[in-house]
Structure 1
Amino acid sequence: MNAATNTDAPSPGSILAVAAAGPLLVLVAFTLPLTTLMSTAGALGVGPGIQAWIMSGMSVGAAAGLLSSGAIGDDYGRRRVFVGGALLLAIASILGALAPTALVLVIARVLGGLGGAAILACGLGLIGHTFPSGAPRARATGVWAAALGAGVAIGPLLSAGLDHLGGWRLPYVFTALAATALAGTARRVLPESRAPVPRRIDLAGTLLLGGGIAALLSALVEGRMGWDRPLVVALLVLGLVLLAGFVAVERRIEGPMLDIALFRCPDFLGATTAAFAAGAGVLSLVSSLPMLLERALGTSTLLSALMLLAWSATSVVTAFGVRWLPTGVTPRTQLIAGLLGSAAGQLGLIGLSLDGTLTRLLPALLIAGAAYGVLNAALGRQAVASVPAGRTAMGSGANNTARYLGSAAGLALVTVLVTHAGPGSGPAGLLAGWNVAVLVTAGFSLLGALVVFFAHERSAPETVPARENTPPGSA
């Protein structure tokens, strides 16, 4: 049953405000190393290998914990897991601020990713529970998606400013304080909700999925320093074996964490594919742009962050504006349009040269940002609309897991292509490799659009599950 522990029922607006503040803070924490990595590496004396882990540690933790935390939130309380995630993010940020070594900092980033996973999955799950399907849910998920973009827009600039004021540790202090405030506010404002028929924790599925994804993403991080090393091969094999075990377990047990039959649902298949394509496509490419500008063109950290802002700020505006689209523009259409628009923007980033100007990138970044905002809003809506009643947090966790898996794979691929695909070495070689990376990641976006388009034709419509439209606090 659904329970509300607050005496006075909170308004939907206050629930939305807190649930959307979660992804904003999580993305601020995710993007923190984009503008502090060089100062962090200098202070701790670390090389490229550990730098890759500092950049990717939070993604590893988030991807490993998203689906599990969403499923646990559905069964044992979405608010409870949301608050716990915020507290874990606060603790991890304190550990990061006090980290005496790079290893401790990496552990802090992984733990922060686990906390962020709970916030992302259960925040969107609470929105799906609170707002009925149709226009109210479309508006609410648009706000949630805009908060994602706002975190990417604010994070690099905020961390750069705090780094300048007090060193690389200060942004972690800020994140710890903000996460603590979020936990307290969520405890007071959010109503508790859970599935009408809670299930037992799928312990085997949780361990197999978390371990498999962690091993697979660790292989992708380590692979940036060489794919033929025994450690990379071992991690890849381990990850694939554990994930295969997860699929086998989920097919056989009663009340699985993830019903594999959901992939026969066109909405679920389309949303999951689009999330992976978004991560492997536009997200991984644009996230790599600041580092390319700094290393190949000598652009300052602040200017690189401002270039990223052109993309992320535009995505905020369009994600928020999706609410005004005609009702005939379905979420599936938005997914396809968002992926195609992202591909167009990505292709506009090809052809960088040593004597070119940064302003030529702006039109492409604005196009990609506008398309990504539409895509984000549709993904948020479909993540909770494409799963059975009472499984909204699990739907959010599955969708965001696909996005982070795609992003991790895309970032590893972009890194390899930028550093090895171009002829020669130095800035000219990096730019030549970047052009190859643009084509490959644009291909992911286009392929994702094709899969979403054909999923509707190849899937049986009767497999679409029921929706959850129960108002907050109801029995």
Structure 2
Amino acid sequence: MTRVESVETGGTRAPRAGARAWVALAVLMLPVLLVSVDNTVLSFALPEIAIALTPTGAEQLWIIDAYPLVLAGLLVTMGTLGDRFGRRRMLLIGATGFAAVSVVAAMAPSAALLIAARALLGLFGAMLMPSTLSLLRSIFLNRDQRRMAIAVWASAFSAGSALGPIVGGFLLEHFAWGSVFLIAVPVLIPLLIGAPLLVPESRDPAPGRIDPVSIILSMATMIPVVYAIKSFATDGVSLGAVAWALGGIVMGVLFVRRQLRAPSPMLDMALFRRGSFSGAILVNLLSVVALVGFLYFVPQHLQLVLGLSPMVAGLALVPGMAAVIIAGLTVVPISRRIAPHIVVPSALVFTVIGYLLVAFTAAGNGAVPLIIAFVVLGIGIGAAETISNELILSSAPAAKAGAASAVSETAYELGAVLGTAVLGGIITAFYRGVLVIPDGVPVEAARAARETLAGAYTVAQELPERVGSALWEAAASAFESGVVVTSLIGAALVVAASVIAAVTLRAPSSR
């Protein structure tokens, strides 16, 4: 049998975990909760950051994307190092660094320094995320229990996203925008205390030697490719972006060739021959693209176009986040009886409908259509994410759980980058293309208004009332038009995910 064929996880007959394991799960949810809170809070804080630090359109995207870009480049490396040196040890190092750098980010005086701090957060975040998921593989041997644990773990993303707008909205209404980064400190302190007491250390018993060349190749693959995608989304096709993309692809080919030839590879490429693994990776990626892309433009629409406060805008998204959590937990008993290639496409139909509701009802109709659309959209995302993460983890041997978890997290973070860069880039490009600057707006003010919606809002407040009102009406109309186009593209991406799930997530062959 091949390495993949020998991977079976014991199913429901494996030993069942006790109460201590579920308490350990609660501890492992803390970094997941933190990362999701951080991402959502940042989206809501972006308008205030844009006003305070006056970033360009490209810098505004980089403030969000610097973290997942570095994270995506290092996840496979950190997951493999966790397999070798200890997943709990890697988790504790990442938590300590993440908390320290969060304090630095909170005090950043410029957009450039905030981007640098976000990149450093990506370094320590890469130590956190694979460790949490891979430790679940070693704690919960019984597959039914593990499926529920992963559903709870995945719900932490949604819970954090739901909690983030509320906590973030409160902080943004009472304190400066830097306060949103300080959330990391009280969240990670319990982790640093509880993990050594409750979470058992686990590692690969036969890890093999460290391969520095594979580590370099993995980073040289991810970072240029993600950077090229961002460049295409924000600046269009250019020679530099094409060169970055081709460079990353070449490095990826070299990485794969090296893994196939290595006696103890950093990443077992045979895993990708299994449809349940590779298909789940793609479903994971496209689902996150849809979710993060939605969460990029909706907070701006709620706060700037509709005029809601950060707190109220956050509360408006809570029902959708609750739908993600409930769907993720509800799908667990369903997935025991119905095959993934049926459950996942059926669930993602809801996400398609949610995006179509945004496209055809959001413009000019207030916040209620967006709230309803997010509830419907969240049902599909919650169910698809739970099943795809469980399939990814159960397809890998326990000794390589860190590497497999890193692949899952890489798909998640790459999806976060694509959601912001592609869908965010599209709405930014469409906004700039259709915005008509009214007569009487100075050249410098017009340039700032074309950069971002927040820039138009700031400029409009400074101009005479008649000219400022005309400029803001034009900017809001242009942004709403961009929301319609972006929503239709998001719906198309989810349709693609549904087709992939229907084709690839079938039962494995009898071998």
TM-score range for the pair, normalised by the shorter chain length: 0.7 to 0.9
Q: Distance in 1 between matches of 2:342 and 2:82?
A: 30
Equivalent of 1:455 in 485, 488, 504: 504
Q: Distance in 1 between matches of 2:307 and 2:174?
A: 22
User: C-alpha displacement at 1:222, in angstroms?
Assistant: 4.1
Of the structure 1 ranges 36-45 and 419-428, higher mean CA displacement relative to structure 2 is found in 419-428
Equivalent of 1:434 in 461, 472, 483: 483
User: C-alpha displacement at 1:315, in angstroms?
Assistant: 0.9
Q: Distance in 2 between matches of 1:200 and 1:353?
A: 55
Instruction: Please name the residue that 2:371 is paired with.
Output: 362
Cα distance, 1:340–1:188 mapped onto 2, change above 3 Å? same
SS of structure 1 residue aligned to 2:359: coil
Q: Distance in 2 between matches of 1:38 and 1:326?
A: 40
CA deviations 1:224-265 (Å, max 9, x no partner) are 441245543443333333223222222222222222221110
Pairing 1:8-87 to 2, within 5 Å after superposition: 11-87=20-96
Q: 1:461 is aligned with what amino acid?
A: S
Cα distance, 1:97–1:294 mapped onto 2, change above 3 Å? closer
Instruction: Please name the residue that 1:4 is paired with.
Output: none
Q: 2:480 is aligned with what amino acid?
A: L
Of the structure 1 ranges 355-364 and 50-59, higher mean CA displacement relative to structure 2 is found in 355-364
CA deviations 1:300-321 (Å, max 9, x no partner) are 4333323332222221222233
Residue 390, structure 1, aligned to residue 399, structure 2: yes
Instruction: Please name the residue that 2:311 is paired with.
Output: 302
Residue 213, structure 1, aligned to residue 261, structure 2: no
Cα distance, 1:327–1:225 mapped onto 2, change above 3 Å? closer
Residue 347, structure 1, aligned to residue 396, structure 2: no
Does the 8 A contact of 2:259 with 2:267 survive in 1? yes
Instruction: Please name the residue that 1:424 is paired with.
Output: 434
Tell me the C-alpha RMSD between the 2 structures.
Answer: 2.5
Cα distance, 1:435–1:89 mapped onto 2, change above 3 Å? same
Of the structure 1 ranges 226-235 and 408-417, higher mean CA displacement relative to structure 2 is found in 226-235
Q: Distance in 2 between matches of 1:179 and 1:230?
A: 43
CA deviations 1:431-455 (Å, max 9, x no partner) are 2222222222211111112112212
Instruction: Please name the residue that 1:130 is paired with.
Output: 139
Does the 8 A contact of 2:233 with 2:426 survive in 1? no
User: C-alpha displacement at 1:139, in angstroms?
Assistant: 1.3
Equivalent of 2:388 in 379, 395, 412: 379
Does the 8 A contact of 2:259 with 2:268 survive in 1? yes
Equivalent of 1:338 in 326, 335, 347: 347
Larger Rg: 2
Q: Distance in 2 between matches of 1:224 and 1:331?
A: 33
CA deviations 1:145-194 (Å, max 9, x no partner) are 11111111112322232233221222222313422442232223211011
Does the 8 A contact of 1:310 with 1:369 survive in 2? no
User: C-alpha displacement at 1:278, in angstroms?
Assistant: 0.7
User: C-alpha displacement at 1:111, in angstroms?
Assistant: 1.8
Instruction: Please name the residue that 1:256 is paired with.
Output: 265
Cα distance, 1:436–1:318 mapped onto 2, change above 3 Å? same
Residue 152, structure 1, aligned to residue 201, structure 2: no
TM-score w.r.t. the length of structure 2 is 0.82
Does the 8 A contact of 1:211 with 1:242 survive in 2? yes
Q: 2:414 is aligned with what amino acid?
A: L
Does the 8 A contact of 1:85 with 1:117 survive in 2? yes
Cα distance, 1:377–1:105 mapped onto 2, change above 3 Å? same
Instruction: Please name the residue that 1:470 is paired with.
Output: none
Q: Distance in 1 between matches of 2:226 and 2:316?
A: 28
Equivalent of 1:183 in 192, 196, 204: 192
Instruction: Please name the residue that 2:455 is paired with.
Output: none
Q: What is the aligned-residue identity percentage?
A: 26
Q: Which runs of 5+ in 1 are unaligned?
A: 1-8, 464-475
Instruction: Please name the residue that 2:209 is paired with.
Output: 200
Q: 1:319 is aligned with what amino acid?
A: G
Does the 8 A contact of 2:328 with 2:383 survive in 1? yes
Instruction: Please name the residue that 1:247 is paired with.
Output: 256
User: C-alpha displacement at 1:142, in angstroms?
Assistant: 1.1
Q: 2:249 is aligned with what amino acid?
A: L
CA deviations 1:405-458 (Å, max 9, x no partner) are 23322322222332344773232232222222222221111111211221256x
Q: Distance in 1 between matches of 2:166 and 2:108?
A: 22
Equivalent of 1:166 in 157, 161, 175: 175
User: C-alpha displacement at 1:364, in angstroms?
Assistant: 2.1
Instruction: Please name the residue that 2:245 is paired with.
Output: 236
Of the structure 1 ranges 286-295 and 339-348, higher mean CA displacement relative to structure 2 is found in 286-295
Q: 1:226 is aligned with what amino acid?
A: D
Residue 313, structure 1, aligned to residue 322, structure 2: yes
The number of aligned residues is 454
Does the 8 A contact of 2:30 with 2:188 survive in 1? no
Q: Distance in 2 between matches of 1:41 and 1:355?
A: 24
Does the 8 A contact of 2:166 with 2:314 survive in 1? yes
SS of structure 1 residue aligned to 2:285: helix
Does the 8 A contact of 2:218 with 2:252 survive in 1? yes
User: C-alpha displacement at 1:277, in angstroms?
Assistant: 1.5
Residue 274, structure 1, aligned to residue 283, structure 2: yes
CA deviations 1:75-104 (Å, max 9, x no partner) are 221111111111121122122123233222
CA deviations 1:275-305 (Å, max 9, x no partner) are 1111223432344321233444444433332
Cα distance, 1:120–1:331 mapped onto 2, change above 3 Å? farther
User: C-alpha displacement at 1:137, in angstroms?
Assistant: 0.9
Q: Distance in 2 between matches of 1:210 and 1:180?
A: 30
Does the 8 A contact of 1:250 with 1:256 survive in 2? yes
